[in-house]
């Protein structure tokens, strides 16, 4: 079954960054509309529509374009702007694929009950380290600065936590994500109960 970007109000929020990124990446690689369309196996009119922020592209089309352009799939959805601290709330993360109208235990059949949100992508950096961080209720983890240029990404799995660089932290809940410069003192503090988060150290 063809999987597509969700329709209605969610569609424009997802397609706008795709349009900007496709045009930018195509121009960076010196390709014409016709050349990129041919390499990706899609029509020129389809690609033209995508670059104008129109249409409802399938996941397969976007995978093909990302492969030809030599970028990660998620790079097509990137709508972030450089800043010291960047917080993404779970409910604001764009839904990029969905099967069926519902999502939950009742929709357990193959091809149903599937929902995928884009929460983070990275470009042009070096090594990654990934950790699972567990905090007991009321616990606080204070961390010394990492080497210069290290960025830390935290995605909250359960609980509520105050996390981030000193003076620029944020309170996050399940599904929320924060990215912050980790070459400064930073902390994780459980607020209402136990916390589990995924911590990603992103080295330059």
The SS3 of residue 23 is: helix
CA atoms of 143 and 140, how far apart (whole Å): 10
* pLDDT, position 100: 55
Question: Of 2.60.120.1090, 1.10.260.40, 1.20.210.10, 3.30.420.40, which CATH number belongs to 9-77?
Answer: 1.10.260.40
The SS3 of residue 118 is: coil
CA atoms of 123 and 71, how far apart (whole Å): 9
Q: Looking at residue 10, what DSSP letter applies? A: H
Could you tell me which residues are beta bridge partners of residue 128? 202
CA atoms of 166 and 117, how far apart (whole Å): 29
Domain 128-202 carries which CATH code? 2.60.120.10
Say which residues have a Cβ less than 8 Å from residue 43's Cβ, sequence separation at least 6.
37
Give the start-to-end residue ranges of the domains of the chain.
Answer: 9-77, 128-202
Q: pLDDT tens digits, the chain, 204 residues: what are they? A: 344 444 444 556 667 888 888 988 898 889 999 999 999 999 999 999 888 888 778 878 888 898 888 877 777 877 654 446 788 888 888 777 666 554 443 334 444 566 777 777 776 677 888 888 899 998 998 888 888 888 999 999 999 999 999 888 999 999 999 999 998 999 999 998 899 999 998 887
pTM reported for the whole predicted model: 0.59
Using an 8 Å Cβ cutoff, are 165 and 186 in contact?
yes
Q: What would the two tokens of residue 48 be?
A: 């033209």
Could you tell me which residues are beta bridge partners of residue 183? none
């Amino acid at each position: 079954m063809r999987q597509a970007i969700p329709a209605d109000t969610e569609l424009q929020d997802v397609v706008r960054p795709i349009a900007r990124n496709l045009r930018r990446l195509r121009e960076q690689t010196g390709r014409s509309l016709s050349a990129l369309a041919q390499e990706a196996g899609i029509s020129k009119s389809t690609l033209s529509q995508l670059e104008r922020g129109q249409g409802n592209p399938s996941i397969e089309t976007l995978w093909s374009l990302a492969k030809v352009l030599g970028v990660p799939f998620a790079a097509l959805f990137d709508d972030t702007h450089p800043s010291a601290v960047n917080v993404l709330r779970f409910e604001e993360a764009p839904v990029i694929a969905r099967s069926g109208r519902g999502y939950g235990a009742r929709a357990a059949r193959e091809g149903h009950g599937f929902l995928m949100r884009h929460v983070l992508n990275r470009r042009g950096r070096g090594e990654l380290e990934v950790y699972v961080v567990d905090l007991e209720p009321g616990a606080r983890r204070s961390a010394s600065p990492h080497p210069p240029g290290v960025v830390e990404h935290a995605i909250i799995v359960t609980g509520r936590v105050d996390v981030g660089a000193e003076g620029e932290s944020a309170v996050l809940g399940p599904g929320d994500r924060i990215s912050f410069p980790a070459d400064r003192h930073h902390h994780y503090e459980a607020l209402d109960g136990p916390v589990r988060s995924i911590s990603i150290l992103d080295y330059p």
